[in-house]
């Protein structure tokens, strides 16, 4: 389990990512998530945002999953089949 350090740039990006995914229980597509993160704070460098989203599922497997290619969703919203 990874800890989000909000006093780092990547920590702030991850905190924003989780906030956005919380507001969108159906999930967000890659491009939509990237643009919303960048719009939330113009000081975030696009390549840093891209790198954080790229590693999101790998870094936080206990919080985020991809129900389909390019779609990110919080694990707590995963439907049981």
Q: Are 54 and 35 in contact (CB under 8 A)?
A: no
The predicted model scores a pTM of: 0.88
- Walk me through the domains of the chain, giving residue ranges and CATH numbers: 9-77 (1.10.10.10)
What pLDDT shows up at residue 1? 45
Q: For each successive 10 residues of the chain (81 residues), what is the average pLDDT?
A: 71 96 97 97 96 96 96 90 54
Alpha-carbon distance 64 to 78, whole Å?
9
């Amino acid at each position: 389990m990874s800890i989000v350090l909000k006093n780092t740039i990547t920590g702030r990006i991850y905190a924003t990512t989780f906030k956005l995914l919380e507001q969108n229980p159906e999930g967000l597509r890659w491009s939509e998530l990237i643009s919303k993160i960048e719009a939330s704070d113009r000081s975030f460098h696009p390549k840093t945002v891209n790198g954080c989203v790229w590693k999101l599922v790998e870094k936080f497997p206990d919080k985020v999953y991809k129900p389909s290619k390019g779609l990110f969703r919080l694990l707590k919203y995963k439907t049981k089949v």
